[in-house]
Amino acid sequence: MALPYRWQVRLDQLRNSLRSIFGGGDEQPRPKLCPACGALVGVSATRCHECGTSLRFSLAAITKNLPVFSGMTNPVSTTLLGLSFFLFAIQLMFTIQAGEAGGFNILWHMNDPASIKLGAVYPYPIFLDHQWWRVITAMFLHGGLIHIGFNMMALMQFGPAVEELYGSPRFLFLYTFTGAVGFLLSALRGHYSLGASGALLGIMGAILAITTKRGGAYMKDLRSRLISSLVFLFAIGLFGFLRIDNWAHGGGLAAGFVLGKIFVDREPMNNSEKFRAQVLGWIAGLTIVASFVLMILHFRDYAS
């Protein structure tokens, strides 16, 4: 049975993307751009004549030709959004199976044993069983429809702008690192925690840092609005509403502010900056993949 035309086109694009990682690409040979410096190189060239980057196998070549980066303006923000909803669907399935999804429960509650199996942060498995990967997996889990709804709206509001500013690799590192720092601090305080908000506060921390490095009325106004919103959020957490974890939020915010001070607030320009950014992005991406592999391997460690 023949595939629909649009799916055949997508499969052809995917096949060409995978080929081009190793120097293949489209069947018709044509000049190409160096993935590192953007210089025009010959059809049969295997290394850029300007910067020396391998056109067949290098971090720049692999990153540029990953299928997830093809045709997307903000690939990391979009992928994080999709992965969070995918994990929420799995949580919901377990919650329904446990008989806890009746009425309005799913608005603010997911089955806790299932969430722990799927990688939520909890001090005992982290510090006694050394399951450090939980500080990564927990940021893709949520405690109900309201929780994931607010977090994903915040991700799509702030994520694309910061991703365009820093570039996708550095943005992925920012999100992953700040979320992990927030959950580590939360676990040290003995909390059960999950959600993307620690990483989202990391994004806001980076934006706050940017406003301190740039002058002008707009930056001052933005900084004032951010600080007001953050004070309100932490005040809600102090009163114990909605199970807000101020320690995870505070850790993510502080880590994001530090990275915002360190990162140059523009996309990488020269080859060395691009290489460092790609290394950070690959570290973050591989850490996420490894964390989910470990979650699957340890899924049955804790009985319901």
Report pLDDT for 15: 63
Report pLDDT for 162: 95
Catalytic entry in 44, 249, 298, 304: 249
What b-and-e string marks burial along 239-263, b requiring 16 or more CB atoms within 10 Å of the CB? eeeebbbbbbbbbbbbbbbbbbeeb
Say which amino acid occupies 194.
Answer: L
pLDDT digits (tens, 9 = 90+) for 211-232: 998 888 888 898 999 999 999 8
Per-residue pLDDT, averaged over 90-119, amounts to 90
pLDDT digits (tens, 9 = 90+) for 244-281: 889 999 999 999 999 999 999 988 888 888 889 999 99
CA separation (Å) from 61 to 9, 20, 53?
Answer: 22, 8, 9
Report pLDDT for 37: 59
Report pLDDT for 274: 87
Report pLDDT for 14: 59
Report pLDDT for 146: 92
Report pLDDT for 26: 47
Per-residue pLDDT, averaged over 104-111, amounts to 87
Catalytic entry in 17, 115, 193, 197: 197
Report pLDDT for 248: 94
Whether the predicted pLDDT of 10 surpasses 50: yes
Higher per-residue pLDDT: 270 or 203:
203
Domain 75-301: CATH superfamily is Rhomboid-like (1.20.1540.10)
Per-residue pLDDT, averaged over 93-105, amounts to 87
Report pLDDT for 63: 60
For the chain, what is the mean pLDDT? 84
What b-and-e string marks burial along 264-297, b requiring 16 or more CB atoms within 10 Å of the CB? ebebbeebeebbebbebbbebbebbeebbebbee
- Say what percent of the chain tops pLDDT 70: 75
The residue ranges of every structural domain in the chain are 5-69, 75-301
- The residues, ordered by sequence, that sit 6+ positions from 128 with a Cβ below 8 Å of its Cβ are none
Residue 197 designated active-site: yes
Report pLDDT for 271: 82
pLDDT digits (tens, 9 = 90+) for 38-74: 566 666 666 666 665 665 555 555 566 555 555 567 8
Contact yes or no for 205/221 (Cβ under 8 A): no
Whether the predicted pLDDT of 171 surpasses 70: yes
Residue 249 designated active-site: yes
Provide the angle, in degrees to the nearest 10, between the axes of the packed helices 217-238 and 246-262.
160
Q: What are phi and psi of 196, to 5 degrees?
A: -85, 0
